[in-house]
Structure 1
Amino acid sequence: KALQLIRYSAFQCDHVPALMQLGTMSLFNSHGFRRNLPTAMAAFERAAAHGDSTAQRYVGLLSATGLGTPGAQRDYARAIVYLSFAAVGGDTASQQALGYYHLTGIGVEKECNEASWHYARVAERAVDAFLDGPPTGRHLPSERVKLTTWSGGPYGWDASGPGNPRLSAYGNGKDILQFYRMQAEEGNALYEFQLGLALYWGMHNVTRNYLGAAKYFKRAAQRWDPNLSAEQSALSRSQIASAHATGYLGWMYWRGEGVAENVSTARSWFELGLERRDSRSMNGIAHMLDRGLGGLPADSERAFSLWSEAASRENTDAQAQLGVKLWQRGQFQQAAAWFAKAAQHDHPLALLYLGNMHRAGQGLPENCQMSIAFHKRVAELVDWAIDQPMHAAQEALRRGDLGTALVHYLFAGELGYESAQLNAAWILDQQWPIRSAEWRALAHVWDQTALALWNRAANQGNTDGRVKTGDYYYYGRGTGLRPPHGTLRGDTPDYERAAVYYRVAAETEHSSIGMWNLGYMYEHGLGVPTDYHLAHRMYGMALLTNPEAYLPIYMSLVA
């Protein structure tokens, strides 16, 4: 009955909220409503006609991905019109997509300055969202999951590059946590602190636990030995851990994480940490002094001094704050140096300022590409302003809703997320959704879509994407149009283009599979002239790059 009312309000009354609700339910398979892409497109088009910027974004993305177009063909001309209207209406995700399109020349001419303008606006909103939270900003979203990583990559554990393919990219977080816990229970301050860190930040297979983190930080902090000299404390790992624990406790009380928010208690912990020369405590007191918080009188000069010392002790937030203060004083080159240090650890504020400074030629060479690189990084890193599409995809995967995850990944791929492009391509490559009737109408374009996504990921430096793009050209997957009811693999191979991708992967990205593939092509004259010497050289390079690949390489050499 509720659905009937929503449909009536949407299509009979042109009620925009009802249209948006119906479109969202139809697109994302929510509230028990079965996915219906034509219904979603129709609802969003009606809402878009009323000027709703979110609806305009969805129409644009459905057109760009082909999910809402006849024959599932991508329509970038239409997509750009709708995304442009949405961006004018203040939709951040649409502006991010336009920035990516202008950067890469998708549907429009490549135009660095236009891309830079869009990315600068998105980065500013991203940092505003980052700072719109507890003191010093929100915690960054969790690491983007790459689906290929869970199975060791498209070719097995690290097989596309150098290294031991038997080693997982992730340790077992629960085993590490158990080891820390055993050592901590013996009264070891270092492991009490390490356990607190693991619980505070979380790790693979371990969710954040602020209450547990506070418990172990307190235990570590209490193990400070006041009888040791400053020189002895600086060399003692237990003393250093105890000092760092006081700084974390200060932050947790200030931010209300696992404990009741209490600025006075936070200040007490910071002052204790300051006595122990802890950089996090220095940074905390500097923030309080800069704004006159915690009962401290405002003292910008002392705050600057503390930020300077904390920054020299490699505190990332202090480096960013020091950069801001130097920038405000017109000391742009010194500011840029500190921003660069903080940017190495993905501090959003530092990334934003570096992008702005490169864009304006302020203390740094004017460089459009560098400006975009920094702004794109912060836009994708801090994505609360665009509803966190990667997070939404991961949540759908946890629910077992692969179709909704694919929709989110396809949309995020249009926004320029390399990990989303990789994940969507992998889902299509494995043909996971084929059992679902809702996707069968799109099956004839899966390979074309996957090829485009592998190629986009490759253009962002993803080695697996580079080799997979070569594979698609080698086997003729998605390289030309097929009738809607044709076979999934009926295109003509393009060995010359495959060789180009393998060569780049081999020579610039040190891919052992790229080397082996190129060697095979030289051996058999596929897309390149037959050259046994070059084939032997490529096989040898593959073996040197990844010794675990000895079996196929030796078989090739013997043959």
Structure 2
Amino acid sequence: MALLGYMHCLGLGVVKNLDTAHAYFASSALQDDAMGHNGLGFIYFHGTSGVQQDHAAAYKHFNASAYGGSADGMFNLASLYLTGSGVTQSFQRSALWYTQALDRGHTPAAYTLAVMHLNGVGTVRNCKMAVDLLKKVCERGSWVSNKLREAHDLQREGRNEAAAWLFLRLAEAGHEVAQMNVAHLLDTGAAQFLQAPSAQNASGGNASLHQDEVRAAGRIHAQRHYELSAEQGNALAELRLGDFAYYGWGLSLDDGPEDLDDDLSEVSSELKLVRQEADLELAVAHYRRTAAMRITGQWMQLCGGAQTTRAMKRIYNIIMFALLAVGFAGDIPDARVPKEVAAGDSVVEAAEVLAALDAEVKAAAAKEA
């Protein structure tokens, strides 16, 4: 019903007729549909030939739509609070509802929030937050979307080198998804365009050794983009960095001898990157951050109760397997497990969390029954 209302409201495939749209929206709202409430709020906000403009009624329906989970409803409710239309003006509530809409992928909400953070309206002035939000808006623009689509099409056609080159251009501009994609192509050896010709032709006729060297060189380039992607909150990139630390792939910083004087340290500063050794403590840290990212993401998308707790339990199950792997490695003499790594304690901690989550699932399910 609500979708039919939107078609008549916007003139999509039919003659634009707001009165007909109003009838569909009203029928949908009677069933407490969030989209229907949002459409009805739009009709009351603007008014039609048959419906008088009523901002108070618009507020009522936008509020119902927002609490029903509609991102558009949240955005429209925030706009009413921002302008004081049909409700007492409140910049703080406006910022709150714009944030809720943004969490559900609403691009106009990202732009409006950026302007609010830039000017300190309804929130503390935060230029960094404003820049981050404007970056999100730019990344969702048509030019970036078209380039991403082009790169994905090239990858589907098996033209991985060309796809990786396009992903790299976007990655260097700060696009998080592109950073993850180019890292994956370099990590798996599907793209080798960043490697020197000497590296690609090394190892003579030993194909297996050559492939290992290609993968190792690719991972060095991939690591940087995994790190950039993880800094922007990509849980899969964080998980992969844990694998890099666990297996000793990629590079790490080497501070060098401490007794060097300042002048000599400056000269040798570019030589501080060395091949990374297996570091189980660092791997556990990455895995824990992955768990935190995934649980936070699930919590933001779900609405509490047994469903939310089950999602958290599922993520902790994944992380516990990673910690168990570290614990098993601790039993291998050549694994060089640092003494500071309490892998066993980490497994016990994860098991305790899982037990607590099990109890929460049962309690929440009992309340819902």
TM-score in terms of structure 2 length: 0.62
Corresponding residue number in structure 2 for 1:494: 276
Corresponding residue number in structure 2 for 1:285: 40
Question: Which of 302, 315, 324 in structure 1 is aligned with 2:79?
Answer: 324
CA contact (8 A) 1:287 1:303 kept: yes
Closer, same or farther: CA 539–290 of 1 in aligned 2, 3 Å: closer
Question: Which of 159, 163, 168 in structure 2 is aligned with 1:401?
Answer: 159
Corresponding residue number in structure 2 for 1:104: none
CA contact (8 A) 1:409 1:424 kept: yes
Matching of residues 262-273 of structure 1 within 5 Å: 262-264=16-18, 265-273=20-28
Closer, same or farther: CA 407–309 of 1 in aligned 2, 3 Å: same
Matching of residues 78-117 of structure 1 within 5 Å: none
1:249 CA drift (Å): 1.4
Cα separation, 1, equivalents of 2:60 and 2:165 = 50
Cα separation, 1, equivalents of 2:228 and 2:155 = 23
Question: Which of 267, 286, 290 in structure 2 is aligned with 1:509?
Answer: 290
CA contact (8 A) 1:354 1:371 kept: yes
Closer, same or farther: CA 546–272 of 1 in aligned 2, 3 Å: closer
Task: Output one character per residue of 1:68-98: Cα deviation in whole Å (capped at 9) or x when no partner.
Answer: xxxxxxxxxxxxxxxxxxxxxxxxxxxxxxx
Corresponding residue number in structure 2 for 1:205: none
CA contact (8 A) 1:463 1:505 kept: no
Cα separation, 2, equivalents of 1:384 and 1:421 = 19
Corresponding residue number in structure 2 for 1:477: 250
Unpaired segments of 5 or more residues in structure 2?
201-213, 254-272, 292-318, 356-369
Closer, same or farther: CA 326–540 of 1 in aligned 2, 3 Å: closer
Cα separation, 2, equivalents of 1:281 and 1:400 = 44
Give the 3-state SS of the residue equivalent to 1:260 in structure 2.
coil
The amino acid across from 1:341 in the alignment is Q
CA contact (8 A) 2:161 2:190 kept: no
Question: Which of 449, 452, 455 in structure 1 is aligned with 2:221?
Answer: 449
Closer, same or farther: CA 447–340 of 1 in aligned 2, 3 Å: closer
Unpaired segments of 5 or more residues in structure 1?
1-245, 481-490, 548-559
CA contact (8 A) 1:495 1:527 kept: no
Corresponding residue number in structure 2 for 1:110: none
Give the 3-state SS of the residue equivalent to 2:112 in structure 1.
helix
Closer, same or farther: CA 537–525 of 1 in aligned 2, 3 Å: farther
The amino acid across from 1:495 in the alignment is E
Question: Which of 260, 272, 276 in structure 1 is aligned with 2:14?
Answer: 260
CA contact (8 A) 1:322 1:335 kept: yes
Corresponding residue number in structure 2 for 1:144: none
Task: Output one character per residue of 1:319-357: Cα deviation in whole Å (capped at 9) or x when no partner.
Answer: 211211211235201212322332332222333333332
The amino acid across from 1:462 in the alignment is N
Corresponding residue number in structure 1 for 2:107: 348
Closer, same or farther: CA 494–455 of 1 in aligned 2, 3 Å: same
The amino acid across from 2:241 in the alignment is T
The amino acid across from 1:456 in the alignment is L
1:410 CA drift (Å): 1.4
Give the 3-state SS of the residue equivalent to 2:65 in structure 1.
helix
The amino acid across from 2:117 in the alignment is H
Q: Superposition RMSD on alpha carbons, in Å? A: 3.9
Closer, same or farther: CA 274–393 of 1 in aligned 2, 3 Å: same
CA contact (8 A) 2:29 2:37 kept: yes
Alignment pair present for 1:308 and 2:80: no
1:424 CA drift (Å): 1.2
Cα separation, 2, equivalents of 1:504 and 1:388 = 36
1:470 CA drift (Å): 4.7
Give the 3-state SS of the residue equivalent to 1:362 in structure 2.
coil
The amino acid across from 1:494 in the alignment is Q
CA contact (8 A) 2:219 2:249 kept: no
Matching of residues 131-210 of structure 1 within 5 Å: none
TM-score in terms of structure 1 length: 0.43
Closer, same or farther: CA 294–544 of 1 in aligned 2, 3 Å: farther
Corresponding residue number in structure 1 for 2:308: none
Cα separation, 1, equivalents of 2:173 and 2:17 = 40
Cα separation, 2, equivalents of 1:412 and 1:452 = 14
1:280 CA drift (Å): 2.3
Closer, same or farther: CA 372–527 of 1 in aligned 2, 3 Å: farther
The amino acid across from 2:177 in the alignment is S
1:453 CA drift (Å): 1.0
- Percent sequence identity over matched residues? 22
Question: Which of 445, 458, 462 in structure 1 is aligned with 2:234?
Answer: 462
Structure number with the bigger relative contact order (C-alpha 8 A, sep ≥ 6) is 1
The amino acid across from 2:248 in the alignment is Y
Give the 3-state SS of the residue equivalent to 1:432 in structure 2.
coil
CA contact (8 A) 1:320 1:350 kept: yes
The amino acid across from 2:119 in the alignment is A
Cα separation, 2, equivalents of 1:494 and 1:309 = 54
Corresponding residue number in structure 2 for 1:47: none
The amino acid across from 2:110 in the alignment is L
Give the 3-state SS of the residue equivalent to 1:346 in structure 2.
coil
Corresponding residue number in structure 1 for 2:267: none
Cα separation, 2, equivalents of 1:527 and 1:356 = 51
The amino acid across from 1:426 in the alignment is H
CA contact (8 A) 2:239 2:290 kept: no
The count of corresponding residues between Structure 1 and Structure 2 is 286
Cα separation, 2, equivalents of 1:432 and 1:318 = 44
CA contact (8 A) 1:336 1:364 kept: yes
Task: Output one character per residue of 1:419-438: Cα deviation in whole Å (capped at 9) or x when no partner.
Answer: 2222211111111245xx99
